[in-house]
């Protein structure tokens, strides 16, 4: 996104470039193109920090995530780094003691990636090119997923001898429309195409190229950025809550949540703009 | 539905017309066509009472819901009435005190609309024309959704500055096949078409016109009305329970439920009719 | 599957034939073709025992299930046997006492069919021809569902006067993409086709004939049998857990689960094979 | 409570007397002393309406519940009325159809008694004399339970051939400190004394006589009535939520709840009064 | 219990003696006194089978469990047998493969002991003498716990280097009144006395000797055996459900459960006996 | 604890002193005695960091927490600091925007205090002197609570006009034996004594003085420090899990957890030490 304005507050990151292609929109790029944007521990820790910051940054109203470069959204775990991981291949030999370290390691990893789901701003994930393993865990934490037609998807973890553990297996069964398909792609680790991803509802749109997909995502993000952030961010929270809870609990939580929201100025602006056919301007959040 | 028999027991309602287009079938029409069938508080309270009554009415075995007139299923909340709502715009200034009133208000609203989900009879919702905001909350409480090809759907609440709070965000993530799409339409408040609704599984059928859609719904309702009401109503209850609970709990609940059902005469009639190839006639429920 | 090797360890069964069409793959056939593979109590008890055995059999890495003969996967409950069922039609007249027997009966039945879901090996269910009632309960317990184009599906229980109680209503709302469709087929008991099953995500593939479908299933099972069984079986467990639990609980369970898995030799083999571009050979599980 | 001021707004009830023994305190008496305050359907429906009204009545800040007369808090279900109950002894003979009526009947009964738990004001239940069956269901819905030393408690339902179904078995295991004791008294239907009730934590105080117990309850209620109603009512809600949910969910719900509460004037008054050592005066809620 | 009648149907067991000290009462004794009634795998598998049989045996209405001999209820796991356990000390070296065997082993063990909780008849557990480790897991599955004053309790598993895994840690926090105490005894593995067990509500009664405790248990069991088994067994089920579920779910389950129960003859007998002051005689269940 | 060895790794903290009074034991003191150990934001953030560090510090096997000085465990929230809290009293006037800041603020606070519950080492909390408000939230996160006889407890939040929101209302209903008492102390904000705390099971021991209480806690911690850390830490985790989940889920989680633990050397050491009557020496964790 060459025309995007840099966001100075996000200059200090090593693996991520954050720019602003439109008002209120942040575009996060995974910036390790020579490694196909693969993730080692420093990368995922930084990923978590970036999204924690975006969540609290009132200047940002919607986020687009993509990979840098033409080849990959991300190839997933940096296998070379992984094969030197002390938690897995370190000196500890007692099974329970090693397990404690591994548990902490996995939870830290889950927490860093999950920061994107916890980020209170809507996140549009643009998948393109190589999008393997961790790419799916990450995409599952986004709100809206769109992709380029050349995307090569795979839940790849079975091919390194483990079940996916950063969130795919927890979230995917609840966000697409065919459990049979979920088991198929997660157990075989086979590639699936943009078309297939669209058919099962994993992505909601397929664009011709990465550029088009990023463009469409920025446009969608801009639209979200003009809406009431009280409404948009609350919608994110309540849908995520609804996915994970029964109806009785969800309705109760919703009522408490909106007993605050309805006291905001945004409902006044929203109602007024509807009645007067003018475009409302909402304050930051 | 000019040929439908009026149902005298439902004469007293102001905003709803209830007729019987076929044996055992009640057709409920939201009857405020000049206001595009919009809902103010008296409307939703009456809506709840209508469905409470249908739930207990043994003469009714299946329900069809549509809007009166050609223009709208419902345009959602009556925004003019809403903009004079004392809970939102009243004199109370203390945030917590106002919140208590709002919580009660939202819960009453949720309860009225939810009466359709609690209604023990199957409900087929026919969406057509303008179907915005509350239209989706209502449709989410139905069992089966079909629509006319001219339906203009939108989860519109974000455009009045709030997240939808009458059930859409609690139920929609569990009843369609793409979470990405759910977030898209709920956060952007954009229109979506009958075709799109069909593709993601929100409606299970699209008919050419409102008349055809109502006709198809009545036909489907007639079919349900001929079935064992013990079986049909139990199926509604158990699917709703299954949507909201884990498998272990659902199976246990099912076993207790059917330990009653299997003692009904309907299983005898059902088995006999299967063996003798005759059409069973089931008693009311 | 005439070329399949018999599996001697499974010779003793009366209603099921188990053979091995490929290395590490077991093919279970419901073998009551004259009765359209219908299930009476001895059949479902044996079904449970077959899958309990497969779960613990380290020589088996993936399972294919189909019906014997060309006409049916299964016609469901053996209605003639059912109509003499002592729990339903026996001498007991006290409602609560009869209910206790029925509850135990239903739970035993649920447990036998559920053994396929609990079986730690992936199960690919091939539906074909007549696939009614219990056929759907069974298919819902499989991991991957594919079918022949001639499959005649129906959730048939409403037509014998009861809600389905062996698992369809508990599982189906979570494994396909349209709740509206689920309610439709479960309440009307109407037939649905392979195409429709594919569209809503119930099956993930439709093949031209039973033979082709079984062939495709065996091929898929062979692929799974070559993968790390630690990874494949863990994936099954974690997706099933994810379907039934919220994200917080699922991630925690996943972290504990993988704190074991990552200590297995399979991750070493998996990583090595990836780096060296060789095909790994995983030990049994 | 002869000195209590009548509360005119509650004059219209047939089975309940509501007076105000102290500012902000309502004293509800079950007023059927000749029948040992037993409950028939009209009684419990009115009970529900009384507590719905108290919940919304900003003049009431705390509630005391006792029985009228010296002999009984309540003897429980009015057995004579119960033995003519049409749902139980009516003409319907089909088990499933009868069950539907019974379910609705039980749920209406549960809902009426549960209105006291849902009532947003704190309720102090004073048990005294005969306190059988439904007495315990009711007491379980209160916030604080105290009793007179002459109280004769029993979970009596087993002696009419059914498990308690109005809430005792759902709530009691979570509100006292010994599951072994819960099973003992619920399965044997034996009497237990005030001392025993105190030891297991069912009541938190035993007073010498009914008069003393009511006096102590009124004093406690007066104390609660002086506190911030935002704080007291929120505390009731959050403890009830905490009883029924895991810690993760409870903390999240608490944070949302208090994000409103902390914006109330009450925290300012509370903090100021603490710093200035003056007694705060809180507005109604 | 020398005067107890043997129960021939239970003659075939190796490690358990089952007699009938009173009408409708079965007394199960763990019969390995020379080993302090310690449990090896064959013992716990048989334990499960005994309780499965009791659950279905309509002649048995209440169960008493104790250890044979004067010295011990049970010393817990048979450590000598345990130290030769193939799952723990066998040849398998791969961590994940060993874990699969261990998981199955623990689940089988949990299932066998849990059969006592699942047993639909009320179980009174009499603890006496040495009552260590597994003794507590077992006692947690009983409905009512009483003990002799000489009982030496301990949650002993920490002293063999593992957390208790057969149910103590899952159930104990919910069945006694002090979490602080639960953590204390579970983490230190220290002994606690009958008095302490009584104080925290783990047992509901302490008797002077084993003989007295068994006598009291038999008397209590006799009392339960005279009550309506529909009521008593339903009460067990609903309290266990209430312990594990929130109030909303529990009330709903209760309503469905009792919609059956209220159709039983037992309520008629119960109501009649109450009105006529005669002793009812309930049929078996 | 003048004889305690300082722990250099914990030197950098401003509000906490961490020493080692016995091998493997860390003693954390809240060190703001002039402010009665009250908590402002910097204090609770540091509290969280201390316990995160202890959780991962293999040299520490058990933790004792107390207040510094004779007067207070902690007086709770630093009300002076609180009354200048920007989240509460800052410039933001929009209710929803202010609520977002407050929610984040409360969650950060909950997270910092909850770090003690998440700390994998057992924590013994010694309450003494003034122990108000936040003191109870903190104590609820400990594993074992003991106190000095002079402790003055109160759930004080209602007196500043809000419900307690840092965990007391979420945890207390599940860790003591009387819901009636919980509601009493949480709604009245009244003081309660050590004796009362002991009676309801909030603390499991009362000692004469702070010094004795700390001494007893250190002794108990020393005992825990000698046990297998695999067993002790696993016990903590599984009891906390058991408190928050139903039995089915808890048993499943336990089986997976112990499938690791049983592969540790600690079970071998534990079993051997039992058979050889020697004292085992367990490696760090």
Summarize pLDDT for D110-123 with one digit per residue, the tens: 999 999 999 999 99
Q: What percent of chain D has a predicted confidence (pLDDT) above 70?
A: 99
Contacts of C260 in chain E (CB under 8 A): 95-96, 99
Q: What is the mean pLDDT of each run of 10 residues along chain B (285 residues)?
A: 77 96 98 97 98 97 97 94 82 93 96 98 98 98 98 97 97 96 98 97 97 98 98 97 96 96 94 90 95
Of E146, E174, E261, the CB nearest to D179: E174
Q: How far is A51 from chain D (nearest CA, A)?
A: 20
Whether residue E74 has pLDDT greater than 90: yes
Where do the domains of chain E lie? 5-226, 229-276
Whether residue E157 has pLDDT greater than 90: yes
**Average pLDDT in the A128-142 region?**
98
**Is F189 in contact with D227 (Cβ distance < 8 A)?**
yes
| CATH match for F5-226 among 3.40.640.10, 3.40.50.1970, 3.40.50.720, 3.90.226.10 | 3.90.226.10
Summarize pLDDT for F94-138 with one digit per residue, the tens: 999 999 999 999 999 999 999 999 999 999 999 999 999 999 999
Contacts of E173 in chain F (CB under 8 A): 174, 239, 242-243
* Alpha-helical segments (H) within chain F: 41-56, 79-82, 86-89, 95-118, 134-141, 168-175, 179-188, 194-199, 210-226, 229-244, 247-261, 265-276
Whether residue E152 has pLDDT greater than 70: yes
What ipTM did this prediction achieve? 0.96
Summarize pLDDT for A232-265 with one digit per residue, the tens: 999 999 999 999 999 999 999 999 999 999 999 9
Structure tokens at C260: 């074991």
User: Where are the extended beta strands (E) located within B128-257?
Assistant: 130-132, 144-148, 152-154, 205-207
For chain E positions 225-254, those within 8 Å of chain C (CB to CB) are 230, 233-234
Whether residue D1 has pLDDT greater than 70: no
- Look over chain C and give the mean of its residue pLDDT values, rounded to a whole number: 95
Q: How far is D52 from chain B (nearest CA, A)?
A: 12
Summarize pLDDT for D239-275 with one digit per residue, the tens: 999 999 999 999 999 999 999 999 999 999 999 998 8
Of B245, B249, B256, the CB nearest to E257: B256
B155: left (phi over 0), alpha (psi -120 to 50) or beta: beta
C-alpha distance across the termini of chain C, in Å: 25
pLDDT at C124: 98
Q: Which residue of B has its CA nearest to E257?
A: B256
Q: Which residue of F has its CA nearest to C244?
A: F249
CA distance E168 to F44: 34
Q: CB within 8 A of F12, min separation 6: which ones?
A: none
Whether residue C5 has pLDDT greater than 90: no
* DSSP class per residue in chain D: -TTPEE-GGGTT-SSEEEEEEETTEEEEEE--GGGTT-B-HHHHHHHHHHHHHHHH-TT--EEEEEESSSSEEE--B-HHHHTT-HHHHSS---HHHHHHHHHHHHHHHHHHHHHHHH-SS-EEEEE-BEEETHHHHHHHHSSEEEEETT-EEE-GGGGGTS---SSHHHHHHHHBSBHHHHHHHHHH---B-HHHHHHTTSSSEEESSHHHHHHHHHHHHHHHHHS-HHHHHHHHHHHHHHHHS-HHHHHHHHHHHHHHHTTSHHHHHHHHHHHHT----PPP-
User: Where are the extended beta strands (E) located within chain A?
Assistant: 5-6, 16-22, 25-30, 62-67, 72-74, 123-127, 130-132, 144-148, 152-154, 205-207
pLDDT at A20: 97
**Is A259 in contact with D260 (Cβ distance < 8 A)?**
yes
pTM given for the model: 0.96
- Regions in chain F scoring below 50 on pLDDT: 1-2
D91 to chain B, any CB pair closer than 8 A? The answer is: no
What does DSSP assign to residue E282? P
A268 to chain F, any CB pair closer than 8 A? The answer is: no
Class of domain A229-276: mainly alpha
Whether residue A3 has pLDDT greater than 80: no
Q: Which residue of A has its CA nearest to F260?
A: A96
C81: pLDDT confidence band, cut at 50, 70 and 90? confident
Contacts of A158 in chain C (CB under 8 A): 227-228, 231-232, 235
**Is B169 in contact with A200 (Cβ distance < 8 A)?**
no
* DSSP class per residue in E151-201: -EEE-GGGGGTS---SSHHHHHHHHBSBHHHHHHHHHH--EE-HHHHHHTT
User: Is-contact B227 C187, C-beta < 8 A?
Assistant: yes
pLDDT at F184: 98
User: Is-contact A232 A270, C-beta < 8 A?
Assistant: no
C161 to chain B, any CB pair closer than 8 A? The answer is: yes
CA distance E113 to E167: 8
CA distance C248 to A107: 11
Tell me how many degrees the CA angle D70-D73-D79 measures, rounded to the nearest 5: 110
Nearest CA to D234 among F103, C30, F186, C169? F186
**Is A264 in contact with F104 (Cβ distance < 8 A)?**
no
Whether residue E2 has pLDDT greater than 60: no
Contacts of E285 in chain C (CB under 8 A): 96-97, 100
pLDDT at C79: 84
pLDDT at F3: 62
Structure tokens at B85: 């709502």
**Is E169 in contact with F238 (Cβ distance < 8 A)?**
yes
Summarize pLDDT for A156-209 with one digit per residue, the tens: 999 999 999 999 999 999 999 999 999 999 999 999 999 999 999 999 999 999
Whether residue A100 has pLDDT greater than 50: yes
Whether residue E87 has pLDDT greater than 90: no
Give the rounded distance of the alpha carbon of C144 from its chain centre.
Answer: 8
pLDDT at F1: 43
Whether residue C120 has pLDDT greater than 70: yes
Summarize pLDDT for D150-204 with one digit per residue, the tens: 999 999 999 999 999 999 999 999 999 999 999 999 999 999 999 999 999 999 9
Summarize pLDDT for C179-234 with one digit per residue, the tens: 999 999 999 999 999 999 999 999 999 999 999 999 999 999 999 999 999 999 99
Q: CB within 8 A of D188, min separation 6: which ones?
A: D158, E220, E223, E224, E227
């Amino acid at each position: 996104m060459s025309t995007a304005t840099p966001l100075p507050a996000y200059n200090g990151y090593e693996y991520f470039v954050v720019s602003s292609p439109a008002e209120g929109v942040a575009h996060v790029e995974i910036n390790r193109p020579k490694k196909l944007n693969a993730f080692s521990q420093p990368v995922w820790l930084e990923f978590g920090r970036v999204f924690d910051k975006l969540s609290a940054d009132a200047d940002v109203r919607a986020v687009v995530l993509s990979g840098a470069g033409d080849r990959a959204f991300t190839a997933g775990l940096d296998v070379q780094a992984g094969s030197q991981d002390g938690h897995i291949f370190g000196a500890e030999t007692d099974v329970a003691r090693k397990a404690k370290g591994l548990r902490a390691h996995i939870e830290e990893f889950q927490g860093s990636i999950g920061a994107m789901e916890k980020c209170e701003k809507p996140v549009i994930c643009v998948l393109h090119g190589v999008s393997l393993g961790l790419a799916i865990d990450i995409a599952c934490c986004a709100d809206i997923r769109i992709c380029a037609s050349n995307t090569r998807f795979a839940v790849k973890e079975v091919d390194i001898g483990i079940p996916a553990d950063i969130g795919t297996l927890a979230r995917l069964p609840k966000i697409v429309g065919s459990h049979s398909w979920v088991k198929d792609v997660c157990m075989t680790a086979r590639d699936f195409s943009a078309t297939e991803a669209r058919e099962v509802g994993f992505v909601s749109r397929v664009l011709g190229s990465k550029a088009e997909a990023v463009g469409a995502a920025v446009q969608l993000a801009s639209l979200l950025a003009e809406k009431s952030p009280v409404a948009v961010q609350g919608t994110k929270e309540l849908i995520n809550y609804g996915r994970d809870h029964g109806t009785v609990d969800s309705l109760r939580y919703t009522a408490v949540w909106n007993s605050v929201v309805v006291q905001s100025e945004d409902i006044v602006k929203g109602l007024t703009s509807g009645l007067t056919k003018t475009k409302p301007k909402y304050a930051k959040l």
